[in-house]
């Protein structure tokens, strides 16, 4: 029997992984507003899993709550809006990994609590278990805590909903294994890892449907400022990564294998 769910996905935007990053005083990234941006990869997994879950349970609804500069959000949503159906709840705030996660969580929780029509007893709060910028893995947890949700799962790769509303969750734990848990049902927080779904293909019809609400929502995006909460950066730097590489071009496979065998066996 389908169970109508209210799924709220928290997803930030991050620089395209192929971009070169350079820190500047602030701290921040050099030309950060000019770097091509993408939806945070693990949060994107959460969005696709949310859409798949909603599709299997008619009557469900997916909200996408995203904090970032309005212009960058609009740029990223031009692509994401073609993937899966959702209602965008944009928050106009700073970009980047250096703002404090506690402040980000407070803004997100306040926004989610005020969502019109949200039934918290049916709420599944989704997001990435870590972002690709701050990568702290705490924002979603803090949002859940602020919303009073006491069943939380992180590093989720799978959720299986049961007829009685309970669900089984697979969470990543040490040693390449999953911890299997059964929760009585919503509300719950699920911080997604990769999940099992491929990125959906672009669907112009979905894009057109999303666009009807997306642009007005972006225009009405509330501004947010993030307090530092006593967080200070002493230094921000690129790592020293340059190694003196020996490029070996003239050895036979036998000779390379012998060299590697000696290297592997050496303490």
Partner 1 sequence: MESILVLTHADDTGAILTKASLETVTAALALAARLSAPLTIGIVAADATPPANSLAATGSRLLAVSGEPFAQPRYATDAAACEALCRAAAATIVLVPGSSRFTRIAAAVAHRLHGFIDTHITSIAPQMQGAPGLASETRESDSPPSAVEATRWFYRQRIEAVLTRDARPWFLLLDAGTNAPYAAEPGSAQVEQIPVTLAEIRTTVTGLRSPQQGTQTIRPDAKLLFVAGAGWTKKQPDGQTHVPEAADLILGFLRSTSASLGSSKSLVDQGGEGQSVLPFLTHLNQIGQTGATPRHPKGLSTCCHGEEPHVVGWRFIAERRAISLDPNCGWSRGKADVVYVADAFQVILKLNALLTQAQS
Q: For partner 1, which residue of 62, 154, 159, 210 counts as binding (CB under 8 A)?
A: 154
At 156, give phi and psi (nearest 5°): -80, 135
Interaction between residue 93 and partner 1 (CB under 8 A): no
Nearer to partner 1, 51 or 101 (CB): 101
Which range touches partner 1 (CB under 8 A), out of 49-57, 116-124, 131-139, 204-212? Answer: 131-139
Interaction between residue 256 and partner 1 (CB under 8 A): yes
Handedness of CA 187, 190, 195, 199 (dihedral sign): positive
- Give the residue from 48, 44, 4, 8 showing the smallest Cα distance to 147: 8
Interaction between residue 121 and partner 1 (CB under 8 A): no
Nearer to partner 1, 212 or 243 (CB): 243
Can you give the length of the chain in residues? 267
Q: For partner 1, which residue of 87, 92, 110, 145 counts as binding (CB under 8 A)?
A: 145
Nearer to partner 1, 69 or 144 (CB): 144
Which residues 50-69 are close enough to bind partner 1 by CB under 8 A?
none
Q: For partner 1, which residue of 171, 190, 207, 226 counts as binding (CB under 8 A)?
A: 171
Torsion of CA 93, 97, 102, 107, to 10 degrees: 20
Interaction between residue 198 and partner 1 (CB under 8 A): yes
Q: For partner 1, which residue of 151, 165, 203, 217 counts as binding (CB under 8 A)?
A: 151
> Per the structure block, which two tokens stand in for 199?
């990125």
Interaction between residue 182 and partner 1 (CB under 8 A): yes
List the x/- string, 207-246, binding to partner 1 by CB under 8 A: ----------------------xxxxxxxxxxxxxxxxxx
Tell me how far, at minimum, the Cβ of 77 lies from partner 1, in Å: 20
Interaction between residue 36 and partner 1 (CB under 8 A): no
Q: For partner 1, which residue of 137, 211, 215, 218 counts as binding (CB under 8 A)?
A: 137
Q: 101-113 vs 139-146: helix axis angle to the nearest 10?
A: 40
Contact at 8 Å (CB) between 197 and 212?
Answer: no
């Amino acid at each position: 029997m389908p169970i109508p769910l209210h799924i709220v996905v928290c997803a930030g935007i991050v620089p395209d992984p192929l971009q070169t990053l350079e820190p500047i005083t602030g701290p921040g990234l050099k030309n950060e507003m000019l770097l091509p941006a993408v939806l945070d990869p693990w949060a994107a997994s959460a969005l696709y899993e949310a859409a798949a879950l909603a599709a299997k349970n008619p009557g469900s609804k997916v909200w996408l709550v995203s904090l970032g500069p309005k212009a960058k959000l609009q740029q990223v949503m031009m692509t994401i809006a073609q993937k899966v159906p959702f209602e965008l709840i944009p928050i106009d705030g700073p970009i980047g990994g250096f703002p404090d996660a506690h402040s980000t969580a407070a803004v997100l929780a306040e926004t989610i609590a005020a969502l019109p029509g949200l039934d918290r007893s049916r709420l599944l709060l989704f997001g990435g278990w870590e972002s690709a910028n701050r990568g702290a893995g705490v924002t979603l947890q803090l949002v859940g805590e602020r919303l009073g949700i006491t069943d939380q799962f992180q590093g989720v790769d799978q959720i299986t909903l049961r007829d009685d509303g309970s669900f089984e969750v697979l969470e990543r734990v040490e040693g390449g294994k999953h911890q299997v848990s059964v929760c009585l049902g919503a509300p719950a927080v699920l911080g997604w890892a990769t999940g099992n779904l491929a990125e959906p293909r672009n669907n112009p019809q979905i894009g057109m449907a999303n666009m009807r609400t997306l642009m007005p929502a972006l225009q009405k995006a509330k501004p947010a400022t993030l307090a530092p909460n006593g967080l200070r950066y002493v230094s921000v730097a690129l790592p020293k990564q340059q190694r003196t590489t020996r490029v070996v071009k003239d050895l036979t496979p036998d000779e390379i294998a012998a060299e590697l065998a000696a290297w592997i066996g050496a303490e």
